Homo-oligomer: A and B are copies of this chain.
């Protein structure tokens, strides 16, 4: 394997070179999704540090509208893995965190104080809960990786939100937003750095310029196809995006999310 900078790997383009960096940037650039872990448990001391990092992320109006459930029980992990597309890494990891978009804490406060909380009926507030949960969880990823752990998000935790809520005893006005599996990466199954879109495809100056941005997509299709081919997989980016978003049949039940959120007390008015 050739020695290349993390940014050249990130863009699968040897011409990319960043002029400014830091140790933390280097850590961020080297992120990869780890789906195979050694059996070692993530220690409670590591968990406390990871959650403190998560809580240090920005949050809209200091609302802190999220919670996290740490799952260690192997049987519970196995049941959650079954609900999340039977993905092995949901069961086999050093720690499973379920990140919860949580407007329940504020709703309970309002109930105890006998006041209205009508803003929580609106999609805007539900979005804030998901955004702030994501900001916190990404800090958790960075913290975990800085401690030598590997991570992977589990969006499939939204495939069966009602059953996941029952498994975790989630109260009203809360929903599992996504999972995060953590652990010591299995050295026998190293994960690759997934190439991303050229920066010119996502970064605009002053105004959005779709023509210039989209002109980068064919080159990216070739790079991603080559990366996938190196793992014995076929398909370029365009093909995979179009397949993933084709229609409700490609959504593993998540086309029902709006109704599920409504029933869980997170309406989208």
Q: Scan residues 45-88 of chain A and give those whose CB is less than 8 A from a CB of chain B.
A: 45-49, 51-53, 55-58, 60-64, 66-73, 76
A120 part of interface (Cβ distance < 8 Å): yes
Asked if A225 is an interface residue, CB under 8 A from chain B, the answer is no
Q: How many residues of A contact B (CB 8 A)?
A: 130
Q: Is A12 an interface residue (CB 8 A)?
A: no
The 10 closest A-B pairs by CB, nearest first: A134-B134, A24-B146, A118-B247, A169-B207, A22-B146, A138-B138, A19-B45, A119-B245, A123-B258, A124-B254
Partner of A29, one of B52, B67, B168, B217: B52
Q: How many copies does the complex hold?
A: 2
B196 to A125, Cβ gap below 8 A? no
Contact with B along A152-187 (1 / 0, CB 8 A): 110100100000000111110010011000000000
Within the assembled complex, what's the spacing in Å between the Cα atoms of A122 and B253? 11
Looking at A142, A152, A254, A268, the one whose CB has the most chain B CB atoms below 10 A away is A142
Q: Which residues of B contact A106 (CB under 8 A)?
A: 241-242, 245
Q: A24-B142, A46-B20, A210-B108 are in contact. Are A204 and B119 (CB under 8 A)?
A: no
Q: Which of B61, B68, B213 touches A204 (beta carbons < 8 Å)?
A: B68
A62 B257 Cβ-Cβ under 8 A: no
A→B interface (CB under 8 Å): 7, 10-11, 16, 18-25, 27-31, 33, 43, 45-49, 51-53, 55-58, 60-64, 66-73, 76, 100, 102, 104-106, 108-110, 113, 115-120, 122-125, 127-128, 130-135, 137-139, 141-143, 145-147, 152-153, 155, 158, 167-171, 174, 177-178, 194, 196-197, 199, 201-210, 213-214, 217, 224, 237-238, 240-242, 244-248, 250-251, 254-255, 257-258, 261, 268-269
